[in-house]
Amino acid sequence: MAPRLGKGVIEDVAQVAAGCDSVARACNAAVSVLHGHTGAAVDVLLLGPGQLSVVAFSGAWQAPAAVPSHYGVVGHVLATGRPAAIDDASIAYSGLHAGRPVGSVVCAPLSERPDPPIGVVNIEFDHVVTDPVLWAEELAEVGLRLRRRIDELGGLPAESRAELLLRHTLMFATAHSGVQLAEMACRAAVELTGLGGATVLTRRATPRGEPQHPLRQTAVHTAAGASDLPTRVAELPPDVLSALVDAVCRHGASHTLGDPSGEDVRGFEPLVQAGVRTLLAFPVRGTAPDPRLEVAMLVMDELQVRVDAGTVTVLELLMANAAECYDRLGALHQMQALAETDPLTGLRHVGPFTERLAAARAGRTALLVIDVDNFKQVNDRLGHAAGDRLLVDLATGMRDCLRQRDELFRVGGDEFVAVLEVRDDAEAIRVADRLVAAARDSGSAVSVGVALRRPDEPAEATLRRADLAMYTAKQDPQYAVWPAE
């Protein structure tokens, strides 16, 4: 069993790191010393965008390339800036290294207060050690020495353009909406080019010869310390921006080559007057034959910056990827809507209703179970096509009489449920009366059971009470609406 690190090992780490000419070599040298002394698995992880990258490792044949920045003890150390130890990590770290036992784990930050940590140094023993907390305290001194050497070497290695491009490409795939995707694209453009700001301008595509739809600024990102040029540009006259978007979408990407004071800026005068000295313009379009939108991205700076042609090409490819992600996102949302929507009435059905039911609030959410009276006779006497028309007309009439915050679901053949946000039972009953009147206007009759969720009552129990109340109303022709017991 190896003795604790002690001053000698700490000084050895500092000495070998001092002789290295890069951050990666310094980290690997430190790991080599620590592994040679302990025989344990030792790693150094440096902070990157959203994760910790393993830049040096020794003591096991295979190591992960990166781990989430919140993962386990390393995430705790990164968040607190203090060393930590796990006396026996055999359960928490089980299977981390196939076939290799896990004992104590000690971890320390690469930090020098008051600066936050830039990473961690971690030792994973294959046995339980004595006084792991004291090990962690000594490892913290190693972390301090290694941090100082990393700072002397210029700090964390810069992200390469390929890494930056891959990171943003992967992020695009996580977008949940077109606006979020546009915001990601603006941030990517600013980080990739080093320019001060970016904006996405969007308008709905129209057939040639028809009046164009108005432009809107979908997203914007401005680098820290830069002027808010995107907002200034978005405030330019609509015809100026429209002409610019026309040119971008028709001719493709373009970029400035010099100081606008000495170049021909005809057609761009309003941009120059707004303070733009450098401008990159990109169409954002996928491969769809009939795009729904015309989208242009403008990346700009108040300084004269010469952006190399390679960066322009890379950014154009990145915007094409963003457009493809938008097309896939639209198709995904369309499929999701089809999966959640009743094709006959257009109302959402059981799946979304179950989610909405789970969010019902005690004393505030009322459930109205609605059943069509004598629906079977309509089908038997007039046929199923007439029954379908009845349901469509009924659903339209009831939906139109609801308030904006309420929703109507079709949960069965001729059964509907309205979910309302109300102040009390009386308000819920007033809405139920309106539904009965709307059904009557559409040529139908319905029975409605009303239940307001009680404190500590499961939402499913509220639904059962409303369902029982509906059957009570159906049995008494004098009452179309019945409040639940």
111 Cβ contact partners less than 8 Å away, ≥ 6 residues apart: 81, 117, 118, 143, 144, 147
**CB of 359 within 8 A of CB of 462?**
no
Q: How many CA atoms lie within 13 A of 376 on its CB side?
A: 0
d(CA 401, CA 348): 17
**How long, in residues, is the chain?**
485
CB neighbourhood size of 303 (10 A): 11
**CB of 93 within 8 A of CB of 119?**
no
Burial class of 248 by CB neighbour count within 10 A (0 to 12, 13 to 18, 19+): buried
Kindly name the residue from 400, 414, 433, 441 that is annotated as catalytic.
Answer: 414
Token pair belonging to 308? 């190399």
Say whether 398 sits in a helix, a strand or coil.
helix
- Residue 12 catalytic? no
281 phi, psi to nearest 5 deg: -130, 130
**CB of 64 within 8 A of CB of 96?**
no
Active-site residue list: 414
